[in-house]
Amino acid sequence: MGDKREISRRTFLNYALMGTGGFLAAGMITPMIRFAVDPLLQGHAGGDKVAVGSPDEFSAVPKRVEFKVHTKDGWYESESTLTAWVTKNDKGEILALSPICKHLGCTVSWGTGAGQPNEYFCPCHMGRYSINGEHILGTPPTASLDEYETEVKDGKLYLGKVKANPRPGVNG
């Protein structure tokens, strides 16, 4: 007959055990490697804009909107609720202001200051801002309220990242 190589029972068991062990090890190690490098490969998900309604809902009178943003920083993911004060002027231009006071970070509201119904007001130290977020000179804030990036698409208003408001201070 031909040259037939026999495999002993011991050799067969060694191969079987090595194969099974390798299979199990690969099953355990692959998810660990994926967990370790996955966030690095995916890049940042930040910068996504969030829909806050139809542009038709907004007018020259500031309207407060709340929206949720999902943040992913490496392995850390979180969801937070943000607020914006949104206006649309007679040219249809939309401005979405951050409510975070530029003095020490309290929250501003529209029209709540005594005697200033047409301004944003910060109750912490009587900070005041115009309807465009300009800080009123002579009050504690020294910068105008930040604004959100805005985009109108498919009949919806989207808000994005917060950016500095370039408007200078104005007299009250």
Q: Which of 90, 86, 89, 98 is nearest to 62 (CA)?
A: 86
Q: Is 66 left (phi over 0), alpha (psi -120 to 50) or beta?
A: beta
The verdict on 137 binding ligand FES (CB under 6 A) reads no
Amino acid, res. 142: T
The residues near 78 (Cβ < 8 Å, ≥ 6 apart) are 70, 71
Retrieve residue 125's tokens. Answer: 């130290």
Contacts (CB under 6 A) with ligand FES, residues 12-71 = none
Q: Which of 161, 157, 160, 158 is nearest to 57 (CA)?
A: 157
Among 65, 127, 136, 148, binds ligand FES (CB under 6 A): 127
Is 45 or 137 the residue whose CB approaches ligand FES more closely? 137
Retrieve residue 146's tokens. Answer: 């930040």
Least distance CB 71 / ligand FES (angstroms): 24
Least distance CB 63 / ligand FES (angstroms): 21
Which ranges of the chain does DSSP label H, i.e. alpha helix? 9-42
Is 49 or 119 the residue whose CB approaches ligand FES more closely? 119
Among 104, 137, 152, 170, binds ligand FES (CB under 6 A): 104
The verdict on 103 binding ligand FES (CB under 6 A) reads yes
The verdict on 135 binding ligand FES (CB under 6 A) reads no
Residues in contact with ligand FES by the rule CB under 6 A: 101, 103-106, 122, 124-125, 127, 140-141
